[in-house]
C-alpha cells in the first residue's frame, strides 16, 4: 500500500494532531500571510510584475523607443506581443490562485518563469531606453514572486501523482525529449561557432556577444526539464508541480517565439523553419498536457464521486 498525503474536503474535521500541525505550518510559513487585503506576498509581486510587463510591452510599440539595430527591434516587437499573452494568462492564474488554488499558483509560476526568461534578454542586452527600469522591475518582481511562491507549498497542498500512468509517462517522456532536443541543438551551434572561430550569423546581425538563450537553457531550464521528466517516469510526488509549471512555461514561451517569428517575417528577415516547426509542435503538445493535468479531479473529488456511486475507494 502506498501512503499519500491528501487535501481534506472542505468541512472535514481535523484531529487534534492535524490541527497542531496546521497551526505550526502557518506559523513557520510567513509567505502565506496576507499583506494587501486577500492577497499574499507572491500574489502581490506577481501582480506588480504583470503590470510592469504590460506597460513595457505596450511601450515597445512607441516609435523610436528602441535604440537597437533594426533586426533586433523587429524581433523585440514580436516578443512584446507574446508577452502580452503571457500577462493575460498570468492574470487568469492569479484570479485562480486568489481562491486558494494550488493549481492556480502553478499556472502563475509557469507564466512568471516565462517573463523571467524573456526579460533576462531585455534587461541585459536591449540598449538602454526610457523603460529599461521596467525591464529590471519585471525581472526582479517575477523572480522573487516565483521564489516566494514556491515557499508557499507544503505537502498537504501538492496532490499525489494520479493513477493514470499514460499521462504521467507521456509528460515525463515529453520533458526529457525537450531537454535532449534543445540541448543538442544549442551545443551544436556553440561547437560550430567555437570550431569556426566566429559568431553565428544571427548573433553577429544582432550585435550581441553571446546568446542568452544558451545560458538560460543549458544552465537552468533544460536541467529542470530533465529532473522533472525523470521524476515523472519514477512517479515522484515532487515532479507533478514541476511538470505542471514547466508545461505552462513551454506553452507560453512557444507563443512568444512564434510571435517573434511573425514579426521577423513581416520585416523580411530569414527564419529557421525547422526550429519554428519544433516550437509549433511543442505549443500543441504542452498545451494539451497542461490542460489534461489542470482538469484532473482532486483525490477528494474522486472519493466523493465513488461514494455517490455506492462503492468504496481503493486503499
**pLDDT at residue number 311:** 42
- The more confident residue out of 187 and 160 is 187
DSSP summary character for residue 154: -
Among 250, 246, 240, which Cα is nearest to 296's? 240
Q: Are 249 and 114 in contact (CB under 8 A)?
A: yes
Average of per-residue pLDDT values in the chain: 85
| HEC readout, 2-53 | CCCCCCCCCCCCCCHHHHHHHHHHHHHCHHHCEEECCEEHHHHHHHHHHHHH
Q: Categorise residue 207: left if φ over 0, alpha if ψ from -120 to 50, beta otherwise.
A: left
Has residue 298 got a pLDDT over 90? no
Residue 304 has pLDDT above 50, yes or no: no
- State pLDDT tens for residues 218-266: 999 999 999 999 999 998 888 988 999 999 999 999 999 999 999 999 9
315: number of Cβ within 10 Å: 6
pLDDT value at 7 more than 80: no
Helix crossing, 239-266 with 165-196: angle to 10°?
50
pLDDT tens for 57-96 read 999 999 999 999 999 999 999 999 999 999 999 999 999 9
Mean pLDDT of 15-25: 48
Q: Tens digits of per-residue pLDDT, 122-166? A: 999 999 999 999 999 999 999 999 999 888 776 566 654 555 688
Residue of 107, 122, 103, 108 lying closest to 55 (CA atoms): 122
Task: Tell me what pLDDT residue 148 has.
Answer: 92
Model confidence at 55: pLDDT above 90: yes
pLDDT at 249: 98
Nearest to 85 by CA among 276, 252, 263: 252
Encode pLDDT of 28-53 as tens digits.
455 555 556 678 999 999 999 999 99
What's the rounded Cα separation, in Å, for the pair 155 and 216? 29
Phi, psi angle pair for 70, to nearest 5°: -60, -40
CA distance 84 to 82: 5
- The pLDDT value recorded for residue 39 is 86
pLDDT the model gives residue 308: 38
pLDDT at 153: 73
What is the pLDDT averaged over residues 180-189? 96
Amino acid at each position: 500500500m502506498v501512503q499519500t498525503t491528501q487535501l481534506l474536503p472542505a468541512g472535514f474535521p481535523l484531529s487534534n494532531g492535524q490541527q497542531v500541525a496546521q497551526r505550526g505550518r502557518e506559523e513557520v510559513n510567513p509567505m502565506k500571510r496576507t499583506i494587501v487585503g486577500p492577497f499574499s506576498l507572491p500574489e502581490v509581486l506577481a501582480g506588480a510584475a504583470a503590470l510592469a510587463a504590460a506597460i513595457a510591452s505596450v511601450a515597445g510599440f512607441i516609435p523610436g523607443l528602441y535604440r537597437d539595430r533594426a533586426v533586433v527591434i523587429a524581433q523585440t516587437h514580436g516578443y512584446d506581443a507574446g508577452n502580452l499573452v503571457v500577462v493575460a494568462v498570468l492574470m487568469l492564474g492569479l484570479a485562480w490562485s486568489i481562491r486558494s488554488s494550488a493549481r492556480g499558483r502553478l499556472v502563475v509560476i509557469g507564466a512568471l518563469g516565462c517573463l523571467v526568461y524573456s526579460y533576462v534578454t531585455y534587461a541585459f542586452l536591449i540598449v538602454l531606453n526610457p523603460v529599461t527600469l521596467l525591464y529590471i522591475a519585471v525581472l526582479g518582481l517575477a523572480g522573487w514572486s516565483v521564489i516566494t511562491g514556491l515557499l508557499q507549498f507544503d505537502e498537504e497542498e501538492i496532490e499525489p501523482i494520479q493513477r493514470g500512468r499514460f499521462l504521467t509517462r507521456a509528460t515525463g517522456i515529453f520533458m526529457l525529449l525537450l531537454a535532449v532536443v534543445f540541448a543538442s541543438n544549442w551545443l551544436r551551434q556553440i561547437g560550430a561557432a567555437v570550431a569556426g572561430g566566429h559568431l553565428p550569423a544571427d548573433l553577429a546581425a544582432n550585435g550581441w556577444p553571446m546568446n542568452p538563450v544558451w545560458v538560460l537553457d543549458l544552465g537552468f531550464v533544460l536541467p529542470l526539464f530533465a529532473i522533472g521528466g525523470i521524476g515523472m517516469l519514477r512517479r515522484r510526488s515532487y515532479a507533478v508541480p514541476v511538470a505542471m509549471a514547466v508545461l505552462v512555461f513551454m506553452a507560453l514561451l512557444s507563443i512568444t517565439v512564434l510571435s517573434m517569428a511573425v514579426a521577423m517575417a513581416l520585416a523580411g528577415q530569414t527564419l529557421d523553419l525547422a526550429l519554428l516547426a519544433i516550437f509549433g509542435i511543442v505549443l500543441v503538445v504542452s498545451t494539451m498536457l497542461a490542460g489534461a493535468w489542470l482538469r484532473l479531479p482532486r483525490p477528494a473529488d474522486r472519493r466523493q464521486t465513488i461514494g455517490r456511486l455506492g462503492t468504496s475507494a481503493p486503499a
